[in-house]
Amino acid sequence: MTADVSTAAPEERQRSLLARHADFRRLFTAYSLSQVGTQVSYVAVPLVAIEALHAGSAQVSALAFLGSLPFLLVGLQAGAWLERMRRRPVLIVTDLVRGGLIASVPIAWAFDALTSVHLYLAVLLVGVATVFFEVASGAYIPHLVGRDNLLEANAKLGGMFAGAEVAGRSIGGFLVQALTAPYALVVNAVTYLWSALWLGVIRKQEPQVEKTGAAKPLWPDVKAGLGYVFGNGVLRTISLETSWSNFCLRIVITLVPVLYVSELHRSAALVGAFLTAGGAGVFVGAAVARRIGSKVGYGRALWLSGACCGPFALVVPFAVHGAAVWIGIVAWGLATVKVGFDNVLKGSIRQLVTADDMMARMGATYRFLITGVLAIGSGAAGVLAGTAGVRTAVLVGAAGLAVSWLMLFFSPVRAIRELPGTA
């Protein structure tokens, strides 16, 4: 027996609509394997630096800094540019560019020509392409599925991204062990091509962007996006709290490979296990966020997830010796459940409170803040590790993550019971 969509409950109807949405399935397919490959490189790239190029904590931190720096350099401009063009071609081109850049690393390694400069430049340029991909994606999804389906779409994509973290980081640790870190990156290069091919077969056409004759200056549009985000109490709070959380997460994630491999001489597979646990936590959070949010209120679900899960991060820098390292890995998985809640609920709230003609600029401003701060976190990781030691630096990042929920508790987000526009 099949449910009658016209008489189903709202949540069931929403799921049924997405289940029959062929273009969303194509988008989902495009992103799925691509995200697995991205997570493989998340494990492999710092290990290329550590194992193949003999990098220390300062060099690994610099690599992470360069990967996030483009969000500070072109993040705001990207939103203004993308308001003036169709988004799907941007998604396809940036996938192809990222695939080529990632492929250049194992090719150079195979010919004994890989250098630190090559790796740093590849990471920087992949970061530039990722800026445009992520801003375009955030603005494209509401057009593709419609606002009524945003929560369900974000829940599905959030769950998939988290599942990709689990699978990709597990596969990444295995591939690094089996093939060496540079060759593990081949997987990521192939998956970017996969994503571009599936995005290319989406049928729904975007409307043509009106040509205005003389090119308009970008700064007024950039300024409007900044004003839009900081002038809205909900958007402002979500942006600032996520930025702080990302800053703290970056410190921990940047330095754990150095702590495990360089300082404690543990297996690289433990780095993969640590990152896999984080992905599992995100997956669990994304899977239950919508259900818990509907029961206790979406704002309350956001701060409660941070208050209950964030403090587990404090276990990581202390549980590092012998079998105790697995306690730290499990604790990290519990801490990142908060991130899964954030990905689903914050994303839907942002998109639903934002007007269509501000979507790309809001998304660019948001990503400028939350991803640009990763560059700062990477730099801070190197400075803290150099002055106070790697374990102390990890503890600082964990402590910051443990208290980030307070920003949501003392803000208008706390009062959000229903998602805007869906009550």
Q: Which residues touch 332 (CB under 8 Å, ≥6 apart)?
A: 252, 274, 277, 278, 281, 312, 313, 315, 316
Residue environment code for 1-18, b if the CB has 16+ CB neighbours within 10 A, otherwise e? eeeeeeeeeeeebbbbbb
Q: What is the pTM of this model?
A: 0.72
Q: Tell whether the model's pLDDT for residue 16 goes beyond 80.
A: no
- Among all chains, which residue has been given the structure tokens 């009658």? 4
Single-letter code of the amino acid located at 349: I
* Sign (positive or negative) of CA dihedral 83, 243, 127, 147: negative
What is the band of 34 on the pLDDT scale with cuts at 50, 70, 90? Answer: confident
Region 102-115 average pLDDT? 91
Q: What span, in angstroms and rounded, lies between the C-alpha atoms of 124 and 63?
A: 8
> Are 166 and 280 contacting, i.e. CB atoms less than 8 angstroms apart?
yes
Mean pLDDT over the full length of the chain: 85
Quick: pLDDT tens for 69-80: 888 888 888 888
Q: By percentage, how much of the chain surpasses pLDDT 70? A: 92
Beta carbons of 85 and 212 less than 8 angstroms apart:
no
Residue 138 has pLDDT above 90, yes or no: no
CA-nearest of 56, 62, 39 to 377 is 62
Q: Radius of gyration of the chain from Cα atoms? A: 21
Mean pLDDT (whole number) for 110-128: 91
Q: How many residues does the chain have?
A: 423
